[in-house]
Amino acid sequence: MPLIRFDLIEGRTEAELKTLLDAAHEAMLEAFRVPAGDRYQIVTEHKTSRMIVEDTGLGIPRTKDVVVVQVFTRPRSQEMKQDFYRLLTEKLEAACGIAPADVMVSCMVNSDADWSFGHGRAQFLTGEL
């Protein structure tokens, strides 16, 4: 945990996707300080016409490399979230050549009762985690 979903325009190779996911995982580990084994990532690819990501009037240019990232997480400080946004864009640019303008992130915060990692139990509540 956190659970991270990536929405992208189709066309990346398996190697490119692996590099993208590895870079995002590194950013999450560094910013949120979670164990290395906390890796939950889901990629959904879309046809170009199925992803419209505009700039909200900020003048942010988008390209076919745009990545929308949704992070489902327990509460994190504002500093941790801002570190994640910065680290994610830095690592995606360095590893994948994705421009920071092409990375949009949204964090959805939830509570311990909102997670079950299997076996029908809420492990944060039962003390297993």
CA neighbor of 105 nearest in space, from 60, 53, 70 = 70
Residue 35 among the catalytic residues: no
Of 2, 35, 61, 75, the active-site residue reads 2
Residue 39: exposure state from Cβ atoms within 10 A (0-12, 13-18, ≥19): middle
Tokens 């199925």, residue?
A: 50
The DSSP letter of residue 10 is S
Q: Among positive and negative, which fits the CA dihedral 8, 10, 11, 16?
A: positive
Active site residues: 2
